[in-house]
Chain A
Amino acid sequence: DAGVIQSPRHEVTEMGQEVTLRCKPISGHDYLFWYRQTMMRGLELLIYFNNNVPIDDSGMPEDRFSAKMPNASFSTLKIQPSEPRDSAVYFCASRWTGNTEAFFGQGTRLTVV
């Protein structure tokens, strides 16, 4: 398995634009997590899904952020409109109920100018 795949690896966008980050979890994993990492706030859990259903979105900072998981092999995190303070590295992670280990993707470095 290629692991958790995120795209794009880097994204530079202008303030006000819509940004969509994509994640393909490891096949068979039923949990999917979206994290944001910054120097100031560390690793923050934004939202997580179990069997494609959002379980806890209390970490989503504002209504500008939304996440979907239309099927077991794909999830998106959308920011609309984007702001400079959204600049961060966004990680997707997945795991299987029967295993405690969560596997992280390589992350998407987002820069909003």
Chain B
Amino acid sequence: GENVEQHPSTLSVQEGDSAVIKCTYSDSASNYFPWYKQELGKGPQLIIDIRSNVGEKKDQRIAVTLNKTAKHFSLHITETQPEDSAVYFCAARTNAGKSTFGDGTTLTVKP
């Protein structure tokens, strides 16, 4: 089955700096890669996603890149703000319908 590895497990940055979280996957059939943000006491919420036919996608301060050959994808947050502090999860999914999640990255943005 699919295996998703996520790094780092914790990340601390100063407000205004950029944050990068990286994930690798094992199943070459995976074709959809969402990123979720989970705040304390809440369920994960989708913040951005990318399909395998696209190499990069951007939405304001958030961008995701995908390298299908190397089977890795990354989340980039620029101009970080304290409200970006949360746990971030990457995931990989095939057409079979189920997603495999990474172990999560706890991001702390220090004011």
List, in ascending order, chain A residues with CB within 8 A of B49's CB.
Answer: 100-101
**Interface residue A52 (Cβ < 8 Å from any Cβ of B):** no
Among A55, A103, A105, contact of B97 (Cβ-Cβ < 8 Å): A55
**Are A100 and B43 in contact, CB atoms less than 8 angstroms apart?**
no
Q: How far is the CB of A34 from chain B (nearest CB, A)?
A: 11
Interface size counted on chain B using CB atoms at 8 A: 22
A106 and B101 in contact, given A100-B49, A101-B49 (Cβ under 8 angstroms)? no
Which residues of B from 34 to 82 have beta carbons under 8 Å from A? 34, 36, 41-46, 49, 51
User: Per DSSP, are chain A's interface residues mostly helix, strand or loop, or mixed?
Assistant: strand
**Are A56 and B43 in contact, CB atoms less than 8 angstroms apart?**
no
**Interface residue A13 (Cβ < 8 Å from any Cβ of B):** no
Which residues of A approach B to under 8 Å, CB–CB?
4, 31, 33, 42-43, 45, 48, 50, 55-56, 91, 93, 100-107
Which residues of B approach A to under 8 Å, CB–CB?
32, 34, 36, 41-46, 49, 51, 89, 93, 96-104
A-B contact pairs, 9 of them (CB 8 A): A42-B104, A43-B104, A45-B101, A55-B97, A56-B98, A100-B49, A101-B49, A103-B46, A104-B36
